[in-house]
């Protein structure tokens, strides 16, 4: 398997070169990695985790748990051990907990702290402090948690849990796996049953992992969505977890291989959970040459190996109901749409405005700067593909957003003129040494000097 060459710099430029070739094991799934650490912390005893993503976001989760009295040990690359303290067993931290850029860690940790009768101050970097936490604050307040926050429910956020937490039945106003998971985590600490109704199914890693650790959890269809119910105050049992490769991280080399003529790469061990594969469904509709092999189950999650070959793509209309299964992948899908023949329309993407940056606006502005016609709506994005290599030549402000940074580096590999990004540091949150890994496949991504 191709070994990456380490490239660490703030500014990077991507330019057209030869075809991409080889195999790349992308980092462990970020969503599963956060949950593996947190749920293991609530089990009684030691859980071994393999394949853990070691990006900045997940390391902040590990450090947060350590500050709350959980022993977390790294044995080697991707290999970690968590000595769980049981449901309700966390201890007060000595200081403020800094979660860096991780919205997942922030929202899930609110649920983890909900059943503990002490106060914790959560903060993060400038990007995380700008993101509202109201969607988590509202249901957890109803359960008995007290919050103090900056204007607009923004961090720094003081979370005061309750030893007498109330169970709830909460209907999500907007589909969100993070909010769902926070309420389910809080529900573990409340007597009786706590239910979450989601209008559209979202990624179900929390449900799968709760079952893996022995929780009493039920999932039933309700309308077009699902009702998830968890029984409170269980004793969770330690259970080894193998974290599969992240399909969201794999999206970047996959789209690059589709756009660069003559490319063929393999991406082994990808999580193929159906709540996470909306991008690949969409790419197939666009005419992408994708082959899935060796399908299997690892750690309760479906996994397979993906082969990607360069393809001429065509425009596609993506329905709003697919958004929860690919919300993080729209930025890189926009790069594919920019090079496709015909028009692509993405519906139901307003949630992109509430990520690490306003991704909808950032994608639209960047693609326009690269010579592609784009129409940005409140909840939609229309891209008129060039059917060939776009002009490129833009300098993109990544806005501390790892997915914006990686997406435009991918476009730079296919555009006529190079594309540069002003700050690649955020990429470390989810895909450590992305530039080195891509360069090992033959991509021309180098420091901007």
Q: Report the C-alpha gap between 11 and 115 in whole angstroms.
A: 43
Identify the active-site residue in 29, 57, 328, 433: 328
**CB 184 within 8 Å of CB 166:** no
Q: Taking the CB of residue 79, how many other CB atoms lie within 10 A of it? A: 13
Residues found in the chain: 449
Dmax over Cα atoms in the chain, in whole Å? 62
Q: 448 catalytic, yes or no?
A: no
Q: Which of 85, 31, 41 is nearest to 64 (CA)?
A: 41
Token pair 């890994």 is found at 437
Count of helix runs (H) and strand runs (E) in the chain: 13, 24
**CB 200 within 8 Å of CB 224:** yes
Half-sphere exposure of 152 (CA within 13 A, CB side): 8
Q: Alpha helices, DSSP H only, in 260-307?
A: 278-285
Q: Which of 135, 131, 118, 129 is nearest to 171 (CA)?
A: 135
Helix (H) or strand (E) holding 210: helix 205-212
Angle at 324 between CA 321 and CA 327, to 5 degrees: 115
Residues assigned a catalytic role: 328
């Amino acid at each position: 398997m191709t070994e990456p060459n380490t490239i660490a710099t703030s500014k990077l430029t991507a330019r057209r070169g030869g075809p991409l070739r080889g195999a790349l094991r992308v980092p462990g799934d970020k969503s599963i990695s956060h949950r593996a650490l947190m749920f293991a912390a609530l089990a009684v005893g030691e859980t071994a985790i393999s394949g853990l993503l070691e990006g900045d976001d997940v390391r902040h989760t590990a450090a947060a748990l350590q500050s709350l009295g959980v022993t977390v040990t790294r044995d080697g690359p991707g290999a970690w051990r968590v000595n769980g303290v049981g449901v309700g067993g966390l201890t007060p931290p000595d200081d403020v907990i800094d979660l860096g850029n991780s919205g997942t860690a922030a929202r899930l940790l609110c649920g983890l702290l909900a059943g503990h009768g002490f106060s914790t101050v959560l903060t993060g970097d400038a990007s995380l402090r700008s993101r509202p936490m109201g969607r988590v604050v509202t249901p957890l307040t109803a359960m008995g948690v007290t919050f103090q926050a900056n204007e607009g429910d923004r961090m720094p956020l003081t979370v005061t849990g309750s030893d007498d937490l109330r169970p709830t039945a909460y209907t999500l106003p907007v589909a969100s796996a993070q909010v769902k998971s926070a309420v389910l985590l809080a529900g573990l600490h409340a007597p009786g049953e706590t239910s979450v109704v989601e209008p559209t199914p979202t990624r179900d890693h929390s449900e799968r992992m709760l079952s893996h650790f022995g929780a009493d959890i039920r999932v039933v269809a309700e309308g077009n969505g699902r009702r998830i119910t968890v029984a409170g105050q269980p004793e969770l049992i330690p259970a080894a977890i193998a974290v599969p490769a992240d399909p969201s991280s794999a999206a970047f080399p996959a789209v690059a291989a589709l756009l660069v003529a003559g490319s063929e790469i393999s991406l082994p061990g990808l999580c193929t959970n159906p709540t996470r594969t909306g991008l690949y469904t969409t790419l197939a509709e666009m005419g992408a040459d994708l082959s899935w092999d060796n399908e299997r189950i690892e750690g309760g999650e479906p996994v397979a190996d993906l082969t990607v070959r360069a393809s001429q793509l065509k425009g596609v209309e993506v329905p709003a109901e697919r958004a929860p299964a690919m919300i993080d992948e729209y930025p890189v899908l926009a790069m594919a749409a920019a090079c496709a023949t015909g028009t692509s329309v993405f519906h139901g993407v307003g949630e992109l405005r509430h990520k690490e940056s306003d991704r909808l606006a950032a994608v639209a502005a960047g693609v326009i700067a690269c010579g592609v016609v784009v129409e940005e709506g409140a909840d939609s994005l229309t891209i008129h593909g060039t059917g060939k290599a776009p002009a490129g030549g833009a300098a993109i402000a990544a806005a501390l957003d790892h997915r914006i940074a990686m997406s435009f580096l991918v476009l730079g590999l296919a555009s006529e003129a190079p594309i540069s990004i002003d700050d690649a540091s955020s990429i470390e949150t989810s895909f450590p040494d992305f530039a080195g890994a891509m360069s090992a496949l033959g991509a021309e991504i180098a420091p901007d000097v």
